[in-house]
Structure 1
Amino acid sequence: MSHPVALAPVAPIGAHAILVFLLQLGLLLGLALLLGRLAMRLKMPAVVGELAAGVIVGPSLLAHLAPGLSAWLLPADTSQQHLLDAVGQLGVLLLVGITGMHIDLKLVRRKGTTAARVSAGGLLIPLAFGIGLGLMLPAFLLTPGTDRAVFAGFLGVAMCVSAIPVIAKTLLEMRLLHRNVGQLIISAATVDDVIGWLLLSIVSALATVGLTTGSVLLSVGGLALIVLITLTVARPVVRTTMRLAGRSAESGVTIAAAVTLLLLAAAGTHALGMEPVLGTLLCGILIGASGHFDPKRIAPLRTLVISVLAPIYFATAGLRMDLTLLRDPAVLGTAVAVLAVAILGKFAGAYLGARASRMSHWEGIALGAGLNARGVIEVIVAMVGLRLGVLSTATYTIIVLVAIVTSLMAPPMLRYATRRLDVTEEEKLREKVFDG
């Protein structure tokens, strides 16, 4: 009789790796907390300070001030880096999921045409500006052998995306998610990012196997399949799960059920070749619209995510940024030009889309300010281009600078514009529901 072979036990994480990991988490979270509080005192959302925490600890500053300490704290060991990235990834998935729970589908349906116009303007104009700029930038920014059209395509995609994680945390912290303009910003950003990921898959195919009908159909088909599964299979599963969890007297059951659904949804969209955050966003929307969503039960999860997990995520994003390359005058001059085009394109697109929908001047400014935040999503696009050899280190640094500056610009401009918008009775009622 044959006996099953017992699997050898997996070796636990080494003591030194655990020590470094815990110090990384503690240092980044503590610094993110301090700088986040400082940012809020300066009338900016905490996410500004949280991004700065990673920049300080990363290669932009600590690696130059104390290279020995930096090498010990942030070793060039992929397994060590993956531990920190895993915590950050969990934070961003739950943050986007919670944002989805607070999207008012009734408003989105009622303002669907407006959201479509805003997202179309905020997508097409910066995409065209980015491609045009990519065709004109000096040759030293291109890697040897790179096709300029492919390079321009990557730059165009980087210009047109918005950062749902940064926008979501900004709106939550500024208590603007219940406002109509906040709902429209999230709705338009969702459309922009879905199309942005689709465009990224296309330009990535251009850079590797070339653009073929099959690669385009595969990307479009994957997105269509996700939407179909969301509407047919996921909706009843989410509704039933949340209804059963709601029967328990303990809020922990509802939280565990919601997190389980969000993570499985993230795994599903990732398996189909799309970004995991798309799955958590769609699942969050289904949870919020399930008829069994109680904000009071989810409140502890929201506090944990916004106060602990999301700050770690934004701090780890800052670790990827090396701003020292901007000391080269040619790179800095190009960066200023790219930044100007990026801001102008996004603002103009969103503003024109808003005005075409007969929205006010200040509503258009608020939508442009919110969608202008590129954040870490643009960093991800840049990292893909760098990995494929389409972007040089200098170009990557420029795109990262655009991501940082646009994210820093969004909060004060949002605050300035929304102060000039009257709060409606519908918004007051939605705020009460969100706050439980």
Structure 2
Amino acid sequence: MTSAAVVVAPISSHALMVLLLQVGVLLLTGMVLGRLAQRFGMPSLVGELAAGVILGPSLLAHVAPGLGGWLFPQEAQQMHLLDAVGQLGVVLLVGFTGMHVDLSLLRRQGVRAVGVSAAGLILPLVLGIWLGFGLPGQLRAGGADPTVFALFVGVAMSVSAIPVIARTLIDMKLIHRNVGQLILIAGTIDDAVGWLLVSLIAAMAETGLHTGDVMTALGHMALLLICTMTVGRVVIRAAMRAAMRSGVPGLPIVTAVALMALASAGTNLLGLEAVFGAFLCGILIGSDKGIDTKTLRPLNTTVMASLAPLFFATAGLRMDLTALADPRIALWGLAVFAVAVLGKFLGAFAGGLSARMSRWESLALGAGMNARGVIEVIIAMIGVRLGLLSGAMYSIIVLVAVLTSVMAPPLLRLAMNQVEHTAEEELRHLQVRALQDPSDGGRDPISRT
């Protein structure tokens, strides 16, 4: 006679109470500070991160250590509960970012965009790797491989953020301009390559920097891409179209969430970064003309208004700005920021000139692609999870994400004021206005600052 299965006890009453308080306090503070940031012309991301900074070790832990330690106890079990909620938001946010990829636009201007993207990716990547080898050991997490750390820093310096770029171009009414379109396409390529590189480095961090393990990771990545373009495309198309035809309210949303979650789990099973699977899934959903992505707007609202801000506030909790009080750390932080900005600017600028664009157009490319925003924050969190970044280095990378996102709009406006409109751009502007949905003010439903 077999005994009955042991029933696992649910979350304790105290842990649940603390989790609910954390979620409520972080969301309310993030909402207030996010709106305040927008009032000053900054991305809401800045305010949401600031919410975590204020409530975390940078401020609350010093001003009211008793309250800070009780509300945000430095216990793995309690923090993992909060992380789990935030990670669901990240998977869906990156999935929506993938849905923003316009493959038809990529095919039309692919050759030119690939050249600009390559220049804007390779130079900051190389400079970042070089800097990563030169950074002091105290910016690496204990036990982190120096080579893997340097590779990770290079990737962090080279990415752009499609959600931030798209929202900036839309808000500044530049989405119809030729330069705006090229920024969007080149940024899309950078994002895709960036996620691929992050997944590869994640595999290296977990298995070690051995030739056999690296080749295995490359094999897994090739297998993933092949499955995505074949079986994945068929399954996702069939599932989403069936959900659309069913007429059941909310079924397309449930199907999209399930597909993104399963794609992330499958990618993680292969030893690659989970969000890469969500990104590929989002591309497949967004590229199928038979899928009406407008039905996913309620999910988009939920992610953008609650889950994503909660993730960014949680990311802010891990920042300890007091570490930057050390002059040596502050100087290295300035070096990281300088390499990130100059590498991206010079790379995109050179790419624009090689594509026979004017100097001002090339400067606009550099300004637009320099925005790191959401993607950089997510990558920084991945670096912490992989055991590569110290608290100080994590704070530095997140600050780079914030500062480059704040820099992008004024520099882009300055450069584009010197670029004349063309007849093609005016025609595209009329087409964009005709396609916009008046109910959402003409804003892209899946863009994110």
**Which TM-score applies when normalising by structure 1?**
0.86
Structure 2: how far apart are the matches of 1:70 and 1:223? 42
CA 1:104/1:35 → structure 2, altered by over 3 Å: closer, same or farther? same
* Residues 156, 379 of structure 2: 8 Å contact kept: yes
Equivalent residue in structure 2 for 1:217, among 202, 215, 218: 215
Matching of residues 88-237 of structure 1 within 5 Å = 88-137=86-135, 152-163=150-161, 180-181=181-182, 183-198=184-199, 200-201=201-202, 204=205, 209-212=208-211, 214-237=212-235
Residues 323 and 119 of structure 1, relative CA distance in 2, 3 Å threshold: same
C-alpha change, 1:426 and 1:393, in structure 2 (3 Å) is same
Bigger shift: residues 115-124 or 55-64: 115-124
1:288 to 283, 286, 289: 286
Task: Check if 1:338 corresponds to 2:336.
Answer: yes
1:324, distance to aligned residue in structure 2 (A): 0.5
1:180 partner letter:
Q
* 2:251 equivalent in structure 1: 253
1:361-400 → structure 2 map (5 Å cutoff): 361-375=359-373, 377-378=375-376, 394-400=392-398
Post-superposition shift, 1:247?
Answer: 1.5
What is the aligned-residue identity percentage?
A: 53
Compare 413-422 and 293-302 and name the one that shifted more.
413-422
Query: In 2 relative to 1, CA 384–187 (structure 1 residues): closer, same or farther, beyond 3 Å?
Result: closer
CA distance in 2, matches of 1:350, 1:393: 30
Query: What is the Cα deviation at residue 52 of structure 1?
Result: 1.4
Greater mean alpha carbon deviation, residues 170-179 or residues 372-381: 170-179
The equivalent position to 1:308 in structure 2, one of 293, 306, 311, is 306
1:40-98 CA deviation, whole Å, 9 max, x = no partner?
11112212211211111111111111111110111112221122111211112212222
User: For residues 91 and 430 of structure 1, do their structure 2 counterparts lie closer, same or farther at Cα, with a shift above 3 Å needed?
Assistant: farther
Residue aligning to 1:327: 325
Secondary structure class of the residue paired with 1:321: coil
Contact 2:119 2:347 in 1 (8 A): yes
> 1:20 — aligned with what?
18
Corresponding position: 1:425 with 2:436: no
Match of 1:79 among 74, 77, 80: 77
Distance 1:41 1:426, change over 3 A: same
Please give the alpha-carbon distance, in whole angstroms, between the structure 2 residues aligned to 1:143 and 1:263: 29
Name the structure 2 match of 1:30. 28
CA shift, 1:130, in A, is 2.1
TM-score (norm 2): 0.84
Aligned partner of residue 9 in structure 2, secondary structure: coil
Tell me which amino acid in the other structure corresponds to 2:427: E
Change over 3 Å in CA distance of 1:230–1:416 after alignment to 2: farther
Task: Give the AA of the match of 2:73.
Answer: P
Corresponding residue number in structure 2 for 1:356:
354
SS in 1 for 2:311: helix
Q: Cα offset for 1:25?
A: 1.0
- Matched with 2:277 is 279
Structure 1 unaligned segments of length 5 or more: list them. none
In the other structure, the counterpart of 1:347 is 345
Q: Aligned partners of 1:419 and 1:247: how far apart in 2?
A: 47
**Counterpart-to-counterpart distance in 1, 2:386 and 2:306:** 33
Three-state SS of the structure 2 residue aligned to 1:247 is helix
Unmatched 5+ stretches in structure 2: 439-449
Cα distance change of structure 1 residues 386 and 252 upon mapping to structure 2, 3 Å threshold:
closer
For 2:406 and 2:336, locate their aligned partners in 1 and report how far apart those are by CA, in whole Å.
16
The letter for the 2-side match of 1:211 is: H
CA contact (8 A) 2:348 2:365 kept: yes
Query: Which residue identity does 2:7 align to in structure 1?
Result: P
Aligned residue type for 1:323: L
Cα distance between partner residues in 1 of 2:116 and 2:358: 13
The yes-or-no answer on 1:6 pairing with 2:4 is yes
Change in CA separation of 1:110 and 1:158 when aligned onto 2, cut-off 3 Å:
same
Match of 2:316 in 1: 318
Counterpart residue type for residue 52 of structure 1: A
Residues 1:192 and 1:432: Cα distance change in structure 2 (over 3 Å): farther
